[in-house]
Amino acid sequence: MPHPTFRAPPHARLLPSAPLLLAMAGPVLAADPPGIVATAPVELPPLTVEARQWKEDVQRTPGSVEVLTPQELDNPLSGGLPAAVAKRTPNVQIEQSTVQTRIVLRGMTSANTALQDPLGFFVNDVALPHGATQAPRLPDPAALEVLKGPQGSLYGRNTEAGAIKAATADPDWTSSGWGSLYTGFQDGPDGWRPTVTAAGRVSGPLKDDTLAGSLAFRAEDARGTGLNRFDGSKNGTETGRWTLSGGLEARPDDDTDVRLKSVVERAELGKARMRYLSGPYATGRFITNYNTPSWDDSTSAVQSLRIDHRGDGLDLTSVTGWTHYKRDFQMDLDGSPLATLPTLSTHRDDALSQEIRLTSADPQARLRWLAGFYAHREWTDLDFKIGTPRVRRETTIDQTGLAGFGQVEVGLTDALRFGLGGRLEWISQSGYQTLSSPAGRSAYGQDLHHTTLLPRVSLSYEAGPDATVYASYARGYLPGGYNYGTAANRGTLTYAPEYSWTAEAGVKGRFAAGRGEAGLAVFHTRTTDKQIVDLVPGGTQKVSNAAEAEIVGAELSLTGRLSAHWTLFGSGGLQRAKATSYTVNVSRNGALVPADLSGNRLPMAAHATYALGVGYDEGERGWFGQVGVNGSGPYHFDSENTLRQSAFALVDAQVGYRFAAVELGVWASNLFNRNVYARAVRAPLGVLAEDGAAREVGLRVKAVW
């Protein structure tokens, strides 16, 4: 029986009209508010990005690029990096659950619990093989770039939907430091539960003008909002996390910069978060019914060595990366007090990468070009135990990849630019699995090899000094992989790559004498060989390339300075993401039957998303504050479209005062305590769901020196 729609508050149905407010913001920004002298407008600072692997103003990039500033990321209202992206970027949904963390951009996501994700995630220029699930919390973030649409021509695998480029701040060449402490209280089922987060950073020169360093930390401890009905315990949703970030920057000569950065994170989380919404074991919000201790421990490390050398007409960049990820968890199998064996998992992944790029040195030249080489090695080991009686799958995967890439941009006229890029990527994988069950023991393996060409073409026109019109067409792909969790033989162990083509057109620019920035984009994506989960006889699953999908949409974003102190920001997105060809086996009354899901909406792909907010800041001394709302239309958690999250709106607010070097503020996230489910699945005993973040209020103190 389909589960009822997850209801939203009445005012959430009014807020999808919020994007219309953005269209009315132009006249507001064009006119000076009372008290502001017209001859001294307050301009937005220019934003320089490296979306195309060279530095340029974001307004010149022929594609959709959203930038989140360090101030937006280092904010208690951000809710972590995935949530921060969703709050400021249109057509984005997130799953931040005990199963996985994924950011669904423009309706594109991977098969459930797959190791690879179509949204690439980079920390300090190093790719994370498992995407957002592997990403650490950065205690000292630099600006973050969200690149929309296929980025494979420059970034390669796992960037079919786009890429997120996060980084830690470079070391300072003058001594500096800061420290912050904030305590919050989360609204749980039996009262308020405390949270405490401490962070800090010191940085400065270590040797004259040739060597600088930085060291930052972040430590978080939260009781969580969970309550276990089975034994009365309250630690099922607790969070313990610490992160350490360090950096060194050397300048051996005037033309060379060397940056070594390291981020290490350890997280210890409670994993008793899924509860039944229906059936005999249904419970209320944040209340579970587990008879098995459930925990989730992980370690993530990202090491990056970047060398930039400026030559005579030619710039050289080298990026060497190493990532380490280890995760161990134990989880109640069925989320109920029934006597079942727990699910156990051990997952380890290590990857080495090397990239070398050559770039033309003059950013103003009529002809600009880039050429590069990339190589990586990855080793993955998984030990997954599930079921009563116990079934165990031990999987090893070795991966090697090589790629050559390049792009050229030529000015056909002073205003018209043509760009052409491409990447030829070869990936070889070798996987082996041992399956142990009461029926016996078997072993099987299979190799995967594929070579992929990823072209991209773009055309942009500067329609004046402050506006750019562009169009692009690019190919994306998500590599094939291994079904580590449910394979039963060699035939169900692997699946092939999926491919897509995306067309995008847009306009971006500044207005009101530089006090406002706006961007509008439309896009169309067609995906073939889409990776989906399918049931096979015997009660197991496989991942097959048996679907096609189409996504069309539009996006609008706006930022404006109303005065020296007031800032307006907003965004809105519309999309239609559906399966155009999708036949799969489903379980009905204990039997497998084929089901045609063609025409269904893709999971986690809302028709509309929006955000709107206003900020106030008097600068180094004085008041500051912010209030914002972000929301979404309804979407489904499953491909069958039976589990539906209704429309919602979340409101955040903060207010504070800066006393020169000390900042004091109070804040509230999810002010009206709306429940947006992080995950929902259909199980034999009913519908299981994981509640989203509760209302949280807190106090923050920050000192800068």
Q: Is 299 helix (H, G, I), strand (E, B) or coil?
A: strand
Is the pLDDT at 388 greater than 50, yes or no? yes
Distance, CA of 566 to CA of 516 (rounded, Å) = 12
Distance, CA of 579 to CA of 527 (rounded, Å) = 9
Residue partners of 367: CB distance under 8 A and separation at least 6: 360, 408, 409, 410, 411
CB 355 within 8 A of CB 319: yes
pLDDT score at 540: 62
444 in a structural domain? yes
State the Cα torsion 68-71-77-83 to the nearest 10°.
20
What share of the chain has pLDDT > 70, as a percent? 93
425 in a structural domain? yes
Is the pLDDT at 14 greater than 80, yes or no? no
pLDDT score at 542: 76
For the chain, what percentages of helix, strand and coil (3-state, to nearest 5) are there?
5, 60, 35
Between 542 and 600, the more confident residue is 600
Output the pTM of the full model. 0.92
pLDDT score at 465: 85
Beta-strand relationship, 367-386 and 343-360: antiparallel
Is the pLDDT at 17 greater than 80, yes or no? no
Distance, CA of 192 to CA of 318 (rounded, Å) = 50
pLDDT tens column, 256-265: 999 999 999 9
543 in a structural domain? yes
pLDDT tens column, 218-233: 999 999 999 999 999 9
52 in a structural domain? yes
Question: Worst-scoring range by mean pLDDT, 110-124, 526-540, 571-585, 608-622?
Answer: 526-540
2 in a structural domain? no
pLDDT tens column, 402-425: 999 999 999 999 999 999 999 999
Is the pLDDT at 183 greater than 90, yes or no? yes
406 in a structural domain? yes
Q: Would you tell me how many other CB atoms lie within 10 Å of the CB of residue 28?
A: 14
Integer angstrom CA distances of residue 105 from 19, 89, 113, 151, 619: 18, 9, 17, 13, 34
Is the pLDDT at 125 greater than 90, yes or no? yes
pLDDT score at 545: 87
pLDDT score at 497: 95
Between 491 and 168, the more confident residue is 168
Distance, CA of 273 to CA of 280 (rounded, Å) = 18
CB 587 within 8 A of CB 535: yes
pLDDT score at 392: 97
pLDDT score at 300: 98
pLDDT (average), residues 150-173:
96
Question: Worst-scoring range by mean pLDDT, 462-471, 527-536, 596-605, 688-697?
Answer: 527-536
In which band, very low, low, confident or very high, does the pLDDT at 536 lie, cut at 50, 70 and 90?
low
Is the pLDDT at 538 greater than 70, yes or no? no
Is the pLDDT at 13 greater than 50, yes or no? no
CB 597 within 8 A of CB 583: yes
Distance, CA of 620 to CA of 72 (rounded, Å) = 16
Between 542 and 14, the more confident residue is 542
Report the run of H or E that residue 154 belongs to, with start and end: helix 152-155
Residue partners of 430: CB distance under 8 A and separation at least 6: 397, 398, 399, 445, 447, 448
pLDDT score at 157: 92
pLDDT tens column, 278-302: 999 999 999 999 999 999 999 999 9
149 in a structural domain? yes
Is the pLDDT at 327 greater than 90, yes or no? yes
CB 88 within 8 A of CB 159: no
Nearest CA-CA partner of 370 in 311, 308, 316: 316
CB 186 within 8 A of CB 193: yes
Report the run of H or E that residue 20 belongs to, with start and end: helix 18-23
pLDDT score at 588: 76
Cα 241–243–246 angle (5° rounding)? 175
Between 93 and 464, the more confident residue is 93
Between 593 and 322, the more confident residue is 322
Residue type, 658: R
Q: What average pLDDT does the chain have? A: 91
Distance, CA of 553 to CA of 576 (rounded, Å) = 6
Is the pLDDT at 694 greater than 90, yes or no? yes
228 in a structural domain? yes
Owning domain of residue 24:
10-704
Provide the number of structural domains found in the chain.
Answer: 1
Distance, CA of 567 to CA of 24 (rounded, Å) = 15
Give me the CATH number covering residue 667: 2.40.170.20
